[in-house]
């Protein structure tokens, strides 16, 4: 009996909770397949008997969904690349190089976590506007190449780097390997899990970022999906069912990404050793 | 200390140290450059702005403490602080507790574990624009999912996002739904708790509840502290979700972005409005600095209190 | 490294960060940020077409109408190329102008003109008008006032936006009425009788014009009241119009329940087939000419009538009272092609073009010559709205810089408190009057 309850109780709980968590998204799907006159039907769990797939096709007529997706992908990939190039460098410098700045710099990394982005928002906007960069992707992407505002990711990486025994690095140094070789050929391969995890985290947050594009993009041809959908909503004649279909298409890629990366993703965090 | 350091000559030692300093600097160079340009300069500049009247169109004039005085006098600031504190005080524990409980469930070895994990995690990665949209519909007073379910059992649900008394509870509900980010870190932490601890407790005849309180919680308390601090920061800066919900009304955009009876006017929203709607950059900068100081203070208090409740194993 | 150490490290890091930040901004700081108004040059040069960017808030079909005018302008001359862009977010446009990456010409609402003029976003048009001896004699005077701030013209009014009373003839007939309400008293009585509720108190037919929002402003002006004196120096909420308007809303909300009314406000989408009026679930509605156009364009078969807003009971002299607002176009102060923007503005505002643009959107043009254009004979209800617009009792809010604060803060906050039955109409009016006057005296 205990065996049975021990299995069944959590299982039922899991299934029920999964339903609760999935319900809003199922609602999104069902709305995206409704026709206009079914939108305000007041029946819960109502799923249109004749799903209107045309809504999805219509999205491509109403907004330039392909371009929005391409823009979003471009910004996201550049940001991920920028961060994955710059963040491991400083993570290495604050974990395995014995230099004067090792500790103070790490302290600064932690401090930046506490600095609200609102503090830098206005002056940065002014700097970018003086440089004539408003309306381009530069303000969105360039900071990533310098790990700016990425304290959290640097921190995650550094904690992981700390778990790699220093003796490995020392041995290579004694063998006369250059510091960059040690970094590229010993450290990075060992740290793949955290690099993957941070890559996925950055991908997810950039893909959905709203405030950055809201501040810096103003030409519809450069809009990302978040901003494009927001603009779509702001216009008067919102086609709700299309907006739902567009949102579904916006969300699906990241669900797929998470599902594929899931195992490694959780391992990456498990190994990040925040307790360190 | 490198092995054999003692045998190396002093000169050699100094040279190596200099070399290490140079290497460290080189590796940190991109980060330091980014720090100077994108963090330190703007932080300093915003401090300057916070003492001036400045609107992007006209030259800056020095106004001393006027902007800070405004913060303490303006009713909307007070309202936004109260709203923000509501979220900080309620949403933080809700997302931590929801995250921890779901992590506990998902840590059980059951069939289909990875599918369940995906279900629980997805809401936290749904783009804000999509989740706001969905919740606007789920919470629709008449045709929404929740109220039409309540209607089935003869209950009349509240007007959620249209009723000042229910707007913030709606946000808390969304917070619990989107607690996957917290959950996944807890899940990782739970997997790090040594099995041997549980096994020896089982030998002592401990039940699930006692195991949770006497082993799980203490073992992951550093992670709880970490998540607590990160979430406090998130809710002090709470913006995107409320911004969407407050500016999406049935008849087009609402420029005040404040929601019914200003119940959705959060600190970060007011700050954004001062900066980019009304172009009162001085007000916005002063607000940003006050936020920074509050964040730092609260973090410091949390760390001070943590000595009493965080236990470190193996240190 | 343990957590506590992380905490201490972080805090010492802050100290480090602050010191460095202070030093840095000391040498680099104090940006003046003024976007230099070097606009007035540019334009006519060496035979190459110069670019003019025009952003507009409209989207969809209305956006296409603007694009049509742009296309015709580009074909009509070879000096400028106008590039149009639909940017439906006004904040975005302002922010872009501030960032020096904004449009040369863009649109907004008249209520923003004073603020934009004061903040230095909009360019005064006096010099251009004087240079070209631009004739503005046929603009409806009240609308032209809407483009002015401090006596100077900063924007040109495009249209006359006005509400009128739409009513569902069938719903009125069902309740035994053959005529729409003419006075405030009739409106209040009829609204209550027209409202149908179900057993749970939920509203099935909304009798009062509380959709899409609470109609405080329309009722006030319809009842012959105003928010401000014509010179913008005195608050006038303490006149009968505003109080009666607020009372009407308060009493209706009290009788049928705020929750029930808000529930209706959340159903359907304004200007959409799901809109309660179009769905036959709202008996009386205050809205503008776009509602007629939408129903005509979308083939919505609804037997409705159109009448002036009801006037304050016992004051027949106030019949036809209303408030006119305008959409306006203004040239950005930091425009790099002021001449090009001005040329396009003149083109779009020429009588036939203005008729095409406003007619295409189902709006009433701000110029009387354009009103005579045959296009308006084919536009649903255009004749009625033009007639309402020319009533002598139509007023406008004066352009003062405090207007956005007055509307978004004072009126919205106090109005909300009364709609939600948290204040009585008398308390609400007293608070509006007091706070508005304080704002004006600043």
DSSP A192-252: HHHHHHHHHHHHHHHHH--HHHHHH--SGGG--HHHHHHHHHHSSS--HHHHHHHHHHHHH
Name residue C203's beta-bridge partners.
C197
Instruction: Select from A23, A55, A34 the least CA-distant residue to B138.
Output: A23
Could you read off the pLDDT of C328-379 as tens digits, one per residue? 999 999 899 999 999 999 999 999 999 999 998 889 999 999 999 999 998 9
CA distance B120 to B182: 11
How many other C-beta atoms lie within 10 A of the C-beta of residue C269? 20
Assign domain C3-161+326-395 one CATH number from 3.40.1130.10, 3.10.28.10, 3.40.50.720, 3.40.190.10.
3.40.190.10
Give how far B115 is from chain C: nearest CA, Å: 33
Lowest pLDDT segment from A264-268, B64-68, B177-181: A264-268
Asked if the Cβ–Cβ distance from A237 to C60 is below 8 Å, we say: yes
Any B CB within 8 A of A202 CB: no
- So what's the pLDDT on residue B179? 92
Structure tokens at B54: 């400045």
What's the mean pLDDT in C370-398?
A: 91
Domain A54-271 has CATH 3.40.50.300: no
Q: Let me know: does B263 contact B168? Beta carbons within 8 Å.
A: yes
A262 vs B117: CB contact, 8 Å cut-off? yes
What does the pLDDT read at residue C36?
A: 36
The average pLDDT across A247-264 equals 83
Q: What is the DSSP string of C221-233?
A: HHTT--SB-TTSS
Count of pairs with CB atoms under 8 A, one residue in A, one in C = 104
State whether the Cα torsion C383-C386-C390-C395 is positive or negative.
positive
Give chain C's count of helices (H) and strands (E): 19, 16
A partners (3+ CB pairs within 8 A) are B, C
Q: Do C266 and B222 touch (CB under 8 A)?
A: no
Does the structure show a pLDDT above 80 at A80? yes
Write the CA distances from C317 to A103, C185, C303, C392, C393, integer angstroms: 81, 16, 30, 10, 9
**What b/e sequence results for B274-298 when a residue is b if at least 16 CB atoms lie within 10 Å of its CB, and e otherwise?**
bbbbbbbbbbbbbbbbbbbebbbeb
Query: Please, which residues bridge with residue C206 across strands?
Result: C282
Chain A (131-150) residues lying within 8 Å, Cβ to Cβ, of chain B: 143, 145-149
Report whether B239 contacts B53 (CB < 8 A).
no
- Rounded to 10 degrees, the C-alpha dihedral B151/B155/B159/B165 comes to -160
How much is the pLDDT for A184?
A: 95
Decide: B23 and A136 in contact? Cβ < 8 Å: no
**Between A and B, how many residue pairs show a Cβ–Cβ distance under 8 A?**
290
Torsion region of B314: left, alpha or beta (phi above 0 gives left; psi -120 to 50 gives alpha): left
Q: Which residue from A22, A43, A122 is facing B46, i.e. has the nearest CB?
A: A122
Dihedral angle at the C-alpha atoms of A265, A268, A273, B1, nearest 10 degrees? Answer: -160
Contacts of C177 (CB under 8 A, 6+ apart): C190, C194
Q: How far is the CA of B295 from the CAs of A107, A117, B221, C154, in angstroms?
A: 17, 12, 21, 44
Letter string b/e over residues C63-102, b meaning 16 or more CB atoms within 10 A of that residue's CB: bebbbebbeebbeeeeebbbebbbbbbbbbbbbbbbbbbb
Mutate to test the interface with C, among B49, B55, B57, B228 (most CBs of C within 10 A): B57
Segment C210-237 shows an average pLDDT of: 94
Could you say which residues from 81 to 110 on chain B have a Cβ atom under 8 Å away from some Cβ of chain C?
none
* C150 within 8 A of C260, measured Cβ to Cβ: no
d(CA B250, CA C263): 12
| Single pTM value for the model | 0.87
What is the pLDDT, as a whole number, of residue B9? 57
Q: What is the ipTM of this complex?
A: 0.87
**Residue C68 contacts residue C361 (beta carbons within 8 Å):** no
Nearest to B118 among A102, A248, A259 (CB): A259
Q: Nearest Cβ partner of A226 from B35, B42, B129?
A: B129
Q: What HEC string does C42-75 produce?
A: CCCCCCCCEEEEEEECCCHHHHHHHHHHHHHHHH
Residue with tokens 């979430």: B231
**Residue A129 CB contacts under 8 Å (≥ 6 apart), including other chains:** B56, C98, C99, C100, C101
**To which residue do tokens 């209800």 refer?**
C381
Q: How far apart are the first and last CA of chain C?
A: 57
Q: Is C116 exposed, middle or buried (0-12, 13-18, 19+ CB in 10 A)?
A: buried
Say yes or no for a CB contact (<8 Å) between B142 and A42: yes
- Tell if the CB–CB gap between A97 and B126 is shorter than 8 Å: no
Q: Shortest CB distance from C14 goes to which of A103, A111, A275?
A: A111
| Residues C403-416, mean pLDDT to the nearest whole number | 91
Q: Do B312 and C2 touch (CB under 8 A)?
A: yes
DSSP C394: E
Question: Is residue C115 a contact partner of residue C403, using CB atoms and an 8 Å limit?
Answer: yes
Fold agreement (C3-161+326-395, C164-323+402-441) = yes
Contact A218 C17 (CB under 8 A): no
Q: Which two tokens stand for residue C381?
A: 């209800």
Strand, coil or helix: A271 = coil
Rg (CA), chain C: 25
User: B118-157: per-residue pLDDT in tens?
Assistant: 889 889 888 888 898 889 888 988 888 899 889 888 888 9
Mean pLDDT, chain C, rounded, equals 88
Q: CB–CB of B118 and A255 under 8 A?
A: yes
Q: Where are the domains of chain A?
A: 54-271
* C269 near A CB under 8 A: yes
Nearest CB to A134; choose among C60, C101, C269: C101
Domains annotated for chain B, with CATH where assigned, are: 5-49 (no CATH), 67-309 (1.10.3720.10)
Residue of C nearest to B257 (CA): C408
CA distance C379 to C371: 11
Cβ-based contacts of A235 with chain C (< 8 Å): 58-60, 86, 88
CB contact under 8 A, B262 and C26: no
B162 against C194, higher pLDDT:
C194
Q: Which of B141, B262, B300 sits opposite C266 (nearest CB)?
A: B141
Q: Looking up tokens 């040239």, which residue turns up?
A: C331
Tell me A135's DSSP state.
T
Question: Cβ A113–B230 below 8 Å, yes or no?
Answer: yes
pLDDT score, position C269: 77
Q: What percent of chain C has pLDDT over 90?
A: 65
Q: CB–CB of C14 and B296 under 8 A? A: yes
State the distance between the two ends of chain A, measured CA to CA, in whole angstroms: 41
**Per-residue pLDDT tens for C44-85?**
445 578 999 999 988 777 889 999 999 999 999 999 999 998
Phi/psi at B253 (nearest 5 deg)? -75, 145
- The residue count of chain B comes to 315
| C26 in contact with B, Cβ within 8 Å | yes
Instruction: Tell me what the pLDDT averaged over chain A comes to.
Output: 86
Q: Which of A22, A262, A10 is nearest to B104 (CA)?
A: A10
3-state secondary structure of C137: coil
CATH architecture, domain defined by C164-323+402-441 = 3-Layer(aba) Sandwich (3.40)
Chain Cα centroid distance, residue C25: 42
| Closest CB to C10 among A107, A162, A220 | A107
Cβ-Cβ contacts under 8 Å for C275 (sequence gap 6 or more): C211, C212, C268, C269
Pairing of strands C322-323, C394-395: parallel
Q: What is the CA radius of gyration of chain B?
A: 25
> Is residue C147 within 8 Å of C155, Cβ to Cβ?
yes
Mean pLDDT across A107-131: 88
Kindly tell me if the per-residue pLDDT of A242 is higher than 90.
no
A56-71 pLDDT, tens digit per residue, is 998 888 888 999 999 9
Nearest CA distance, C369 vs chain B (angstrom): 32
Q: Phi then psi for A41, rounded to 5 degrees? A: -65, 130
Peptide bond into B118 cis (omega under 30): no
- For residue range A124-171, list pLDDT tens digits in order: 988 888 888 888 999 999 999 999 989 999 988 998 888 888 899 999
Residue with the bigger pLDDT between B14 and C415: it is C415
Kindly determine whether residue B162 and residue C265, on different chains, have CB atoms separated by under 8 Å: yes
Closest chain C C-alpha to B5 CA, distance in angstroms = 24
Best of B127, B247, B282 to disrupt the A interface by mutation (most A CBs within 10 Å)? B127
Q: Which of B114-118, B166-170, B308-312, C211-215 bottoms out in mean pLDDT, i.e. has the lowest? A: B308-312
- Condensed to tens digits (0 to 9), the pLDDT of residues C263-282 reads 998 887 788 778 899 999 99
How far is residue B187 CA from its own chain's centroid?
18
- φ, ψ (nearest 5 deg) of residue C213: -135, -175
Has residue C5 got a pLDDT over 60?
no
Q: How far is B194 from chain A (nearest CA, A)?
A: 13
pLDDT above 70 coverage of chain A, percent: 90
B255 in contact with chain C, both atoms CB, cutoff 8 A: yes
Beta strands C148-149 and C152-153 are antiparallel
The alpha-carbon gap from B220 to the nearest alpha carbon of chain C, in Å, equals: 12
HSE of C43, CA atoms in CB hemisphere, 13 A: 15
Categorize the per-residue pLDDT at C42 as very low, low, confident or very high, splitting at 50, 70 and 90: very low
pLDDT at C34 exceeding the cut of 50: no
Q: Which of C30, C35, C95 sits opposite B60 (nearest CB)?
A: C30
Summarize pLDDT for A180-210 with one digit per residue, the tens.
Answer: 999 999 999 999 888 988 998 899 899 989 8
CA distance A82 to A142: 8
Q: Which of B131, B45, C200 is nearest to A229 (CA)?
A: B131
CB atoms within 10 A of CB C276: 22
Residues in C closer than 8 angstroms to A123, CB to CB, are 31
Asked whether the beta carbons of residue B299 and residue A121 sit closer than 8 angstroms, the reply is no
- The Cα–Cα gap between B310 and C13 comes to 22
How large is the average pLDDT for residues C180-203?
95
Give the minimum alpha-carbon distance from C10 to chain B in angstroms, rounded to a whole number.
9
Residues of A in contact with B285 (CB under 8 A): 119, 122-123
> Is B159 close to C119, i.e. CB distance below 8 A?
no
CA distance to partner chain B, nearest, from residue C73 (Å):
30
Considering only CB atoms, which chain C residues are within 8 Å of A37? 273-274
CA distance C95 to chain A (A): 8
- The C-alpha of A50 sits at a distance from chain C's nearest C-alpha, in angstroms, of 20
Chains that touch B (3 or more CB pairs under 8 A): A, C
The domains of chain C are located at 3-161+326-395, 164-323+402-441
Radius of gyration of chain A measured on its C-alpha atoms: 23
């Amino acid at each position: 009996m205990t065996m049975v309850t021990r299995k069944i109780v959590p299982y039922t709980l899991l299934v029920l909770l999964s339903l609760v968590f999935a319900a809003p998204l199922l609602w999104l799907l069902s709305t995206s397949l409704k026709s206009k006159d079914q939108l305000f039907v007041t029946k819960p769990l109502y799923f249109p008997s004749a799903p209107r797939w045309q809504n999805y096709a219509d999205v491509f007529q109403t907004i330039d969904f392909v371009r929005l997706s391409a823009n979003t992908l471009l910004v996201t990939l550049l940001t991920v690349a920028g961060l994955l190039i710059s963040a491991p460098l400083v993570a290495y410098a604050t974990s395995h190089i014995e230099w004067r700045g090792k500790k103070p710099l790490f302290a600064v990394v932690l401090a930046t976590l506490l600095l609200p982005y609102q503090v830098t928002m206005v002056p940065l906007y002014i700097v970018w506007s003086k440089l004539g960069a408003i309306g381009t992707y530069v303000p969105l992407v360039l900071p990533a190449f310098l790990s700016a505002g990425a304290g959290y990711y640097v921190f995650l990486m550094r904690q992981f780097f700390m778990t790699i025994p220093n003796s490995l690095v020392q041995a290579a140094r004694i063998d006369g390997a250059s510091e960059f070789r040690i970094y590229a050929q010993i450290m990075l391969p060992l740290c793949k899990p955290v690099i993957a995890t941070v890559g996925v985290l950055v991908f997810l947050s950039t893909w959905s970022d709203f405030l950055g594009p809201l501040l810096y993009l103003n030409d519809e041809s450069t809009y990302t999906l978040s901003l494009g959908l927001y603009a779509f909503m702001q216009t008067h004649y919102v086609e709700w069912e299309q907006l739902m279909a567009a949102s579904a298409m916006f969300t699906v890629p990241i669900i797929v990404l998470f599902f594929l990366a899931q195992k490694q993703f959780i391992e990456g965090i498990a190994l990040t050793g925040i307790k360190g | 200390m490198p092995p054999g350091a003692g045998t190396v000559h002093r000169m050699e030692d100094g040279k190596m140290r200099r070399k290490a300093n140079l290497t460290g600097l080189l590796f940190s160079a991109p980060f330091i450059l980014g720090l100077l340009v994108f963090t330190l300069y703007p932080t300093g500049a915003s401090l300057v702005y916070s003492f001036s009247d400045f609107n992007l169109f006209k030259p800056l004039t020095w106004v001393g403490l006027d902007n800070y005085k405004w913060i303490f006098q303006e009713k909307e600031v007070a309202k936004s602080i109260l709203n923000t504190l509501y979220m900080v005080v309620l949403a933080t524990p809700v997302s931590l507790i929801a995250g921890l409980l779901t992590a506990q469930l998902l840590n059980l070895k059951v069939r289909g574990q990875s599918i369940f994990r995906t279900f629980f995690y997805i809401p936290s990665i749904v783009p804000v624009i999509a989740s706001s949209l969905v919740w606007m519909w789920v919470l629709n007073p008449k045709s929404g999912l929740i109220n039409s379910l309540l209607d089935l059992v003869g209950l009349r649900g509240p007007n959620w996002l249209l009723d000042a008394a229910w707007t913030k509870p709606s946000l808390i509900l969304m917070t619990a739904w989107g607690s996957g980010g917290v959950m996944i870190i807890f899940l990782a932490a739970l997997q790090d708790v040594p099995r041997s601890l549980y096994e020896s407790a089982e030998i002592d005849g401990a039940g699930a509840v006692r195991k949770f309180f006497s082993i799980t919680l203490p073992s992951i308390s550093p992670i709880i502290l970490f998540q607590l601090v990160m979430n406090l920061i998130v809710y002090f800066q709470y913006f995107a979700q409320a911004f969407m919900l407050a500016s999406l009304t049935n008849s087009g955009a609402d420029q005040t972005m404040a929601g019914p009876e200003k119940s959705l006017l959060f600190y970060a929203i007011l700050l954004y409005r001062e900066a980019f709607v009304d172009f009162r950059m001085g007000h916005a900068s002063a607000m940003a600095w006050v936020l920074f100081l509050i964040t730092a203070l609260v973090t410091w208090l949390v760390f001070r209190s943590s000595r009493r409740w965080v236990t470190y194993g193996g240190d | 490294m343990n957590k506590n150490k992380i905490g201490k490290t972080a805090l010492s890091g802050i100290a480090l960060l602050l010191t460095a930040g202070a030093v840095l901004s000391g040498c680099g700081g104090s940006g003046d940020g003024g976007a230099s108004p070097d606009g007035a040059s540019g334009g006519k040069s060496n035979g190459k077409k110069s670019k003019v960017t025009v952003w507009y808030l409209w989207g969809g079909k209305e956006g296409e109408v603007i694009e049509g005018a742009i296309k015709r302008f580009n074909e009509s001359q070879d000096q400028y190329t106008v590039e149009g862009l639909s940017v439906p977010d006004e904040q975005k446009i302002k922010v872009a102008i501030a960032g020096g990456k904004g449009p040369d010409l863009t649109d907004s609402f008249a209520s923003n003109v004073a603020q934009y003029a004061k903040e230095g976003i909009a360019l005064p048009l006096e010099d251009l008008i004087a240079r070209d001896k631009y004739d503005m004699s046929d603009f409806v005077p009240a609308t032209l006032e809407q483009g002015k701030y401090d006596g100077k013209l900063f924007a040109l009014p495009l249209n006359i936006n006005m509400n009128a009373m739409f009513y569902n003839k069938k719903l009125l007939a069902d309740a035994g009425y053959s005529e729409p309400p003419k006075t405030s008293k009739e409106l209040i009585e009829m609204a209550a009788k027209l409202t149908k509720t179900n057993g749970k108190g939920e509203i099935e037919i909304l009798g009062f014009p509380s959709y899409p929002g609470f109609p405080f402003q329309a009722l006030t002006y319809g009842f012959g009241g105003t928010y401000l004196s014509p010179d913008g120096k005195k608050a006038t909420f303490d006149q009968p119009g505003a109080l009666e308007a607020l009372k009407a809303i308060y009493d209706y909300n009290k009788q049928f329940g705020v929750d029930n009314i808000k529930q209706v406000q959340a159903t359907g989408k304004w200007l959409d087939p799901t809109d309660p009026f179009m769905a036959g679930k709202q008996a009386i509605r205050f809205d503008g000419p776009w509602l007629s156009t939408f129903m005509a364009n979308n083939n919505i078969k609804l037997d409705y009538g159109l009448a002036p807003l009801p006037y304050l009971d016992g004051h027949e002299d106030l019949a036809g009272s209303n408030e006119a607002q305008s959409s306006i176009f203004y040239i950005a102060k930091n425009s790099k092609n002021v001449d090009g923007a001005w040329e396009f503005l003149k083109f779009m505002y020429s009588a036939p073009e203005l008729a095409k643009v406003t007619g295409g959107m189902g709006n009433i043009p701000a110029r009387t010559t354009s009103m005579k254009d045959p296009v308006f004979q084919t536009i649903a209800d255009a004749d009625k709205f033009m007639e309402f617009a020319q009533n002598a009792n139509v007023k406008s809010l004066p352009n003062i810089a405090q207007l956005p604060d007055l509307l978004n803060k004072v009126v919205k906050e106090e109005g909300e408190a009364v709609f939600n039955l948290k204040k009585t109409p008398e308390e609400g009016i007293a608070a509006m009057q007091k706070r508005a006057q304080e704002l004006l005296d600043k």
